[in-house]
Amino acid sequence: MAETKNQYDMRDPRDQYPQPPFPRQPQEKPGFTEKMDPRPDHGEESYRGFGRLKGRKALITGGDSGLGRAAVIAYIREGASVVFNYLPEEQEDADSLIALAEAEGGTIHAIPGDLRDPDLCAALIVKTVELLGGLDILVCNAGHQVRQPGIEDVSHEQFDETMKTNVYAMFWLCKAAVKIMPPGAAIINLTSNQGFSPAPYLLDYATTKFAIRGFTEALAQGALDKGIRVNAIAPGPFWTPLQPSGGQTQDKVEQFGKATPMGRPGQPAELAPTFVFLASQESSYISGEIFGATGGKPIS
């Protein structure tokens, strides 16, 4: 990767980060950051905070790696206190993130657990309030994706896991959160370009991303009665452990992101400012919107 700079230095976006081809790098689910080549940029060196979330209290699911990790780093550096959730087998990534945040003086707590459990989702909201004294920002980021050739290859177990991780967990978390979040709070959900242009080899995943779009737009209208804003982000191909650990075939990993107008995948750090914007008062007149981040390919 080229010399690290902060996110405000002007550069040609096409060669700002590594471009394919990438080496084959199969991993077992859920995948680990340190095993990726090249290593993703979550903003560890590049993100600069300005206190835009000072005093806010945030819960982020899937915060140990990928887009969630970038959101955690950005929120900590913008002055927020953070609780993040992760799968127990992702302890290595979780530990490195905790160490980074604590070294910078940030307030951070990590709670392991499988979001397919509705009791865990409810407990996450309660525990966040206990640890931080409230909840102002909820980021439903955790997701499950497995590429399969066609519908006949998608097992009942896979379909169920994808639905519960991507949709049910979001419902359980948001239902518990809106009861206690104050006016001015923000919910950010993660949909995808697959929620606009579905691929047959991501049938179950794309189905959930369409559901997240509809859920976000509907919830946003009702939540405003409580002064809570709800928006979603629709990423395209981003370089995260989700991809080499079953989200893509190794042939696709080698050329991941090449088909975008940018000619490369996005890096998690590139989405961090969007997470901050949608959580901050800067976006006070924005609710019910879907923000695309697809490397130049329009979503519609």
Q: Are the CB atoms for 31 and 241 separated by under 8 Å?
A: yes
- CB within 8 A of 248, min separation 6: which ones? 147, 256
- As a whole number of angstroms, the distance between CA 64 and CA 189 comes to 17
Greatest pairwise CA separation for the chain in angstroms: 50
Closest C-alpha among 115, 288, 298, 122 to residue 197: 298
CB count, 10 Å around CB of 159? 17
Active-site residue list: 205
Q: Are the CB atoms for 154 and 148 separated by under 8 Å?
A: yes
Closest C-alpha among 180, 169, 184, 27 to residue 85: 169
- As a whole number of angstroms, the distance between CA 289 and CA 300 comes to 12
Compute CA 114 distance to the chain's CA centroid, rounded to the nearest angstrom.
Answer: 16
- CB within 8 A of 81, min separation 6: which ones? 56, 57, 58, 106, 107, 108, 132
Query: How long, in residues, is the chain?
Result: 300
